């Protein structure tokens, strides 16, 4: 019996050596330490043995059992270590891989230009006044000195808005320019200070709408920034100084300006301001179409009728106004050839700014 146990122990240890996974180890344990194993059979047979043999076989069986159990525990630890090493290798994180870029949004090119315009006029003491986008014919046109049927209305083809009741002589519309904001601002101001209104210095930015053919040069919606200064003894010199200073800060200290006579119903006299082409320095290029000058804005002295409509006495007060298109300015600065990019929401365009 002792011999059989010894042989079985050798066989078990040899088999254990070859084991490489937990399943095989489980099978090995039931074969060599389980109920029907040689060792367990030896314990069971003890009762049938003689007094002399019993302690010898019992001791031998016990030694084999202890030896196999400890060898099995060792194997178990070894398999566990192997598993950990394998999983560390296969699940390893490569910390040298480049990270994923987080995508951040861009400020729309028009808004960049708008912010610059706000900053420049803000430094000169102008405040921002927001006015409505839905207007009446009265404020969008009539109070700005465009009588009904005036030909200048043709330049501002209009989106009308259906409304309740008969408003044939004063229909609702989307504003075609930011100039009606001048009327609201002046009326608000003169009703707040009816006796001796302090000066007004504001810019009025916002979206405008025109019922136009969409082309590379014109869109049905676009921004404008209107400016208005009203006070006692404001002159055309103030207009030229303010706008030339704006041009130098916007387009560079060496930017030259020139004022050409023009016509707008709500200003008298009226002018357009050109800036010496900042791309070719005035020599003539594709952006200025060989002229050496770029048209930047319309301006003029507020028409007496418009001052009256705003609640000011034109005998005492005077003012200047101007209006510019931030998309147009952005196009010139960045050499953008098609205004439709501004509303196309094409990231390839927007991400360049």
For binding to ligand DAH (CB under 6 A), which residues are involved? Answer: 177, 179, 226, 264, 267, 298-300, 321-323
CA angle at 131 for the pair 192 and 244, rounded to the nearest 5°: 95
Q: What is the dihedral of CA 249, 251, 257, 259, to 10 degrees?
A: -90
User: What whole-number distance in Å separates Cα of residue 75 and Cα of residue 257?
Assistant: 91
Closest distance between ligand DAH and the C-beta of residue 327, in Å? 13
**209 vs 264, beta carbon nearer ligand DAH:** 264
Closest distance between ligand DAH and the C-beta of residue 307, in Å? 13
Closest distance between ligand DAH and the C-beta of residue 316, in Å? 21
CA distances from 108 to 149, 218, 330 (A): 38, 19, 11
Strands 200-209 and 127-128: parallel
- Pair 33, 69: CB distance under 8 Å: yes
**61 vs 302, beta carbon nearer ligand DAH:** 302
In the complex, residue closest to ligand DAH by CB: 323
- Pair 189, 197: CB distance under 8 Å: yes
**300 vs 311, beta carbon nearer ligand DAH:** 300
Which sign does the torsion angle of CA 215, 221, 225, 228 carry?
A: positive
Distance of CA 30 to the CA centre of its chain: 67
**97 vs 261, beta carbon nearer ligand DAH:** 261
**75 vs 175, beta carbon nearer ligand DAH:** 175
Query: What's the token pair of residue 148?
Result: 């009904």
**61 vs 144, beta carbon nearer ligand DAH:** 144
Closest distance between ligand DAH and the C-beta of residue 188, in Å? 17
User: What whole-number distance in Å separates Cα of residue 208 and Cα of residue 156?
Assistant: 10
């Amino acid at each position: 019996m002792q011999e059989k146990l010894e042989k079985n122990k050798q066989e078990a240890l040899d088999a254990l050596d070859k084991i490489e996974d937990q399943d095989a180890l489980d099978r090995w344990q039931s074969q060599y330490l389980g109920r029907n194993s040689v060792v367990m059979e030896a314990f069971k047979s003890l009762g049938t043995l003689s007094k002399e043999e019993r302690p010898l076989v019992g001791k031998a069986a016990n030694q084999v059992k202890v030896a196999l159990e400890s060898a099995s525990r060792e194997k178990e630890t070894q398999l566990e270590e192997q598993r950990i090493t394998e999983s560390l290798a296969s699940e390893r994180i490569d910390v040298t891989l480049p990270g994923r870029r987080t995508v951040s949004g861009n400020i729309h090119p028009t808004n960049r230009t708008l912010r610059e315009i706000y900053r420049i006029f803000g430094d000169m003491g102008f405040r921002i006044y927001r006015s409505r986008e839905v207007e009446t014919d009265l404020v969008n046109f009539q109070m700005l000195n465009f009588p009904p049927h005036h030909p200048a209305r043709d330049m501002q083809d209009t989106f009308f808005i259906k409304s309740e009741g008969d408003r044939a002589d004063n229909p609702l519309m989307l504003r075609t320019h930011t100039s009606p904001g001048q009327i609201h601002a002046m009326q608000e101001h003169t009703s707040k200070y009816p006796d001796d209104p302090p000066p007004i210095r504001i810019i009025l930015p916002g979206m405008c709408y025109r019922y136009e053919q969409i082309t590379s040069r014109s869109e049905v919606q676009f921004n404008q920034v209107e400016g208005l200064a009203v006070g006692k003894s404001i002159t055309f010199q103030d207009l030229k100084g303010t706008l030339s200073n704006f041009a130098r800060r916007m387009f560079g200290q060496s930017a030259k300006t020139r004022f050409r006579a023009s016509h707008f119903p709500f200003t008298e006299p009226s002018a357009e301001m050109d800036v010496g082409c900042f791309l070719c320095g005035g020599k003539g290029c594709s952006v200025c179409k060989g002229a050496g000058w770029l048209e930047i804005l319309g301006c003029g002295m507020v028409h007496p009728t418009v001052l009256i409509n705003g609640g000011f006495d034109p005998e005492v007060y005077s003012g200047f106004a101007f209006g510019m298109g931030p998309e147009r300015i952005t196009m010139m600065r960045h050499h953008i050839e098609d205004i439709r990019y501004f509303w196309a929401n094409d990231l390839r365009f927007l991400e360049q700014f």
